[in-house]
Amino acid sequence: MELLQFEHLGQTLRLEGSLAGWQQLYWGEHIVSQLTATENRESKSTHHFELSRQVQTTVQVDSEDGQPSVHIIKCSLEVDLTWQPFEIKYQFVVDGSLAAEGTRNSKDIEQQVPVKAVKVEKKFSLMGLASLGFKLLKSAKIIKVVLAGASLAAYSWFFSLQFALSLLACLVFHEYGHIRAMKHFGMKTKGIYLIPFVGGLAVSDEKINTRWQDVVISIMGPTFGLILSLACILVYWLTGNIFFAGLAAFNALLNLFNLLPILPLDGGHVLKSISFSMNSKVGLIACIAGAGIGVFISYSLGLALLGFLLLIGSLEILFEWRTRHQSHLLPLDRYGQVFSSVWYLLTVGGLIAVIFYFAGSGDQLLSLPLQILGS
């Protein structure tokens, strides 16, 4: 993770580090100092390094032999780093004189553009392949219209025009939640792409730098979905039109599945960010306990399918927990972990409540979402 960067003698001085404790200091593309995880146990650390005259723009000449003299510049970077909540204080000293100092927090990390592009491990998946294909075509605005038309035609063919329009409205509203979150963080967006039988994509070219950004962008889609279901319930109460009841129930089911802790679903991103921000075995135990409670509640409510998928998704995330230090994303602090967990649980609970509400109406069609979850 890139913690710090500033210019020095025409090159970028860049400090990288991880929650595991190691730090590497780069001057340009060259490592000038590094600390291993075992060497760096305290919050305060100091990097010492020297720069020779060959990297200077000014050349001093020895008057006796006319040859350039070697001038050594002694540098040191003092760092006081706190991970949760994130704050880094630094002082850069050159030849005994203070050259730069400052403080950075999580807001600065969110806005920074890494000097070195982050390499993201690519995993093969049909959804990822589809995403890549449509990203290649996203520069053409006509593609949005073509994909939306194809989605409308496909869903109308298998179901009905009314169902197709309703489903697309739910997908667009869900993806708009992601778009709003991206814009909140100042990210440029490319819009919403509807993909037949896959769903929708909210596309942005910019990369995220923190787990908090990942949580907010991911969970805002299902949150907007919950708001849409509640709005449909209100319209149903006012009009008595069964169509809005069905839209509320099936939209809740759609967004609930999207919150399952399975990557690349939104729920997978949220729970991965929460669990990967825990830097102790206590955090891991809490994550396992939370997953176990979720599975128990799901089966207690008769939601067998939901409980099974929750178990599989939680195990997937827990198996990857050891790799959390390799991420370039700034972890959540304690407040962020609690807030994200509560936000996630309230959203899941709200969507399940909508499904149960209509399941108790006695209408066979409105009971279908609950039957699916109990299968």
Residue 239 Cα distances to 169, 235, 354, angstroms: 20, 6, 18
- Element of type H or E holding 16: strand 11-17
Q: Judge if 154 and 284 occupy the same domain.
A: no
Q: Judge if 353 and 250 occupy the same domain.
A: yes
Q: SS3 for 84?
A: coil
Boundaries of domain holding 153? 130-207
**Res. 39: pLDDT tops 60:** no
Q: How far, in whole angstroms, is CA 369 from its chain's centroid?
A: 29
Q: Judge if 224 and 169 occupy the same domain.
A: no
Q: Judge if 285 and 375 occupy the same domain.
A: yes
Higher pLDDT, 274 or 195: 274
The answer to whether residue 243 sits within a structural domain is yes
Q: Judge if 225 and 336 occupy the same domain.
A: yes
Q: Judge if 156 and 73 occupy the same domain.
A: no
| pTM assigned to the model | 0.74
Q: Judge if 180 and 218 occupy the same domain.
A: no
> With the C-alpha atoms ordered 21, 277, 268, 199, is the resulting torsion angle positive or negative?
negative
pLDDT band for 252, please (50, 70, 90 cuts).
very high
pLDDT of residue 168: 83
70-89: average pLDDT: 84
Sheet bearing 11-17, strands edge to edge:
2-8, 11-17, 23-27, 30-35
Q: Judge if 196 and 216 occupy the same domain.
A: no
Which of 62, 84, 111 is the last residue in one of the domains?
A: 111
Q: How far apart are CA 209 and CA 34, in angstroms?
A: 22
Which of 83, 111, 139 is the last residue in one of the domains?
A: 111
The answer to whether residue 106 sits within a structural domain is yes
Which of 176, 207, 238 is the last residue in one of the domains?
A: 207
**Res. 61: pLDDT tops 60:** no
Q: Judge if 346 and 215 occupy the same domain.
A: yes
- Percent of the chain past pLDDT 70, that is, above it, reads 71
- What is the rounded average pLDDT for all residues in the chain? 77
The answer to whether residue 229 sits within a structural domain is yes
List b or e across 231-248, with b for residues whose CB sees 16 or more CB atoms inside 10 angstroms: ebbebbeeeeeeebbbbb
pLDDT band for 232, please (50, 70, 90 cuts).
very high
217-231: average pLDDT: 95
Amino acid letter, residue 129: L
Q: Judge if 76 and 56 occupy the same domain.
A: yes
pLDDT digits (tens, 9 = 90+) for 320-336: 666 666 677 888 888 89
Q: How far apart are CA 233 and CA 247, in angstroms?
A: 9
pLDDT of residue 59: 45
**Res. 10: pLDDT tops 70:** yes
Rg for the chain, CA atoms, rounded? 26
The DSSP annotation for 341-361 comes to HHHHHHHHHHHHHHHHHHHTT
The answer to whether residue 116 sits within a structural domain is no
The answer to whether residue 123 sits within a structural domain is no
